[in-house]
């Protein structure tokens, strides 16, 4: 069974079952285990002098460990590879969490704030309805790349070792890759490696969204917005999503009580948005997933022919 065939089955399995609560309430999800390891190493190493060197050592250790564990798990055979890949994809859980924000927004704004707080790290207590909607859609775009396309891409490139390397470094970046006093040195290496691993998947996600929305004429604007974005990668799927839906995303937001005046993405787009726009974003998530599955099956067919 080829890697592309395994990925196709894993995508279908994830789309059908997602992350069943009955299972992960009894055993720890692999992402949680990875996070626990990173947290322990953070507490042990992130102190004293030479923090950048220690962070580099941490990143090397995590990378080699992920590649080694992936290689060992691959020896268990195709079924184990398929199941692990399905577990580490996040299409259904992403679509469900984003859709939950739309459902909550139809009930009440306080309920929507609580719902969106589960998927974003910014302050949510004083959010307006459009701010809630923008936050959910931005999370949808970024995590479509980080949680679906990038893991699938690295599984195709490197099998389980490639997938586990990506998930480990992406988790490390989400935990220690911050530009604050505590992590600007220690998390530097993990953040830079995560940027590198997401370089192609983020732009691939952007192209897939553009293709589905037939938005090629807005390529220049997408590039300009992506290059202004605070993240070297997240701006690509966000800019494509914003134009596909005709919305303005990003802009000012609050973190830990401090307003950050970030650049708008597609500033000319509509800003007065709500639940309906979130639902359109969820529809687009599934369209991109279907396109990714179609491309994967194309690779399966080509492998069979040649």
Measured CA to CA, the distance from residue 200 to residue 237 in angstroms comes to: 11
Residue 295 has pLDDT above 80, yes or no: yes
DSSP of 36-94, one letter per residue?
HHHHHHHHHHSSSS-HHHHHHHHHHHHHHHHHHHHHHHHTT-HHHHHHHHHHH--HHHH
Mean pLDDT of 196-225: 96
Phi, psi values for residue 99, rounded to 5°: -65, -30
Phi, psi values for residue 256, rounded to 5°: 55, 40
Mean pLDDT, the chain, as a whole number? Answer: 94
Choose among 35, 57, 36: nearest CA to 46: 57
Residue 76 has pLDDT above 90, yes or no: yes
260 versus 154: the higher-pLDDT residue is 154
> What does the pLDDT read at residue 20?
83
Residue 23 has pLDDT above 80, yes or no: no
> What does the pLDDT read at residue 27?
84
pLDDT tier, 156 (very low <50, low <70, confident <90, very high otherwise): very high
Mean pLDDT of 28-56: 92
* Ranges 23-27, 35-39, 233-237: which has the least confidence: 23-27
> What does the pLDDT read at residue 262?
87
Contact (Cβ atoms closer than 8 angstroms) between residue 212 and residue 287: yes
Burial of 20 (0-12, 13-18, 19+ CB in 10 A): exposed
pLDDT tier, 298 (very low <50, low <70, confident <90, very high otherwise): very high
> What does the pLDDT read at residue 142?
96
Mean pLDDT of 263-281: 96
> What does the pLDDT read at residue 98?
97
Choose among 69, 25, 244: nearest CA to 158: 69
pLDDT tier, 35 (very low <50, low <70, confident <90, very high otherwise): very high
Residue 303 has pLDDT above 90, yes or no: no
Residue 54 has pLDDT above 80, yes or no: yes
Choose among 193, 197, 106, 115: nearest CA to 150: 197
Domain ranges of the chain: 3-305
> What does the pLDDT read at residue 146?
96
- For the chain, percent of residues with pLDDT exceeding 90: 85
Regarding pTM above 0.85, the answer is: yes
* Ranges 65-74, 103-112, 118-127, 143-152: which has the least confidence: 118-127
> What does the pLDDT read at residue 306?
80
Length of the chain: 306
> What does the pLDDT read at residue 305?
86
């Amino acid at each position: 069974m080829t890697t592309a065939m395994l990925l196709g089955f894993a995508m279908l399995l994830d789309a059908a079952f997602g992350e069943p609560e009955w299972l992960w309430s009894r055993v720890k999800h692999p992402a949680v285990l990875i996070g626990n390891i990173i947290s322990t190493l953070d507490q042990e190493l992130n102190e004293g002098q030479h923090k950048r060197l220690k962070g580099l050592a941490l990143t090397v250790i995590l990378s080699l460990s992920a590649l080694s564990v992936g290689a060992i798990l691959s020896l268990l055979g195709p079924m184990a590879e398929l199941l692990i890949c399905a577990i580490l994809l996040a299409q259904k859980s992403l679509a469900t969490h984003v859709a939950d924000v739309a459902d909550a927004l139809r009930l009440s704004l306080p309920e929507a704030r609580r719902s969106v707080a589960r998927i974003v790290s910014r302050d949510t207590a004083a959010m307006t309805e459009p701010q809630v909607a923008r936050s959910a859609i931005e999370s949808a775009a970024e995590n479509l790349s980080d949680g679906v396309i990038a893991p699938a891409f690295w599984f195709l490139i490197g099998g389980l070792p490639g997938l586990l390397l990506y998930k480990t470094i992406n988790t490390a970046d989400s935990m220690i890759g911050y530009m604050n006093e505590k992590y600007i040195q220690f998390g530097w290496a993990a953040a830079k490696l995560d940027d590198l691993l997401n370089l192609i998947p983020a732009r691939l996600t952007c192209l897939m969204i553009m293709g589905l929305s037939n938005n090629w004429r807005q390529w220049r604007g997408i590039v300009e917005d992506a290059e202004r974005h605070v993240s070297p990668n997240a701006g690509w799927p966000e800019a494509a999503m914003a134009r596909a839906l005709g919305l303005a995303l990003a802009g000012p937001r609050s973190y830990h009580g401090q307003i950050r005046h970030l650049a708008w993405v597609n500033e000319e787009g509509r800003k007065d948005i709500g639940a309906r726009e979130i639902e359109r974003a969820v529809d687009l998530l599934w369209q991109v997933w279907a396109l990714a599955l179609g491309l994967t099956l194309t690779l399966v067919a080509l492998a069979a022919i040649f």
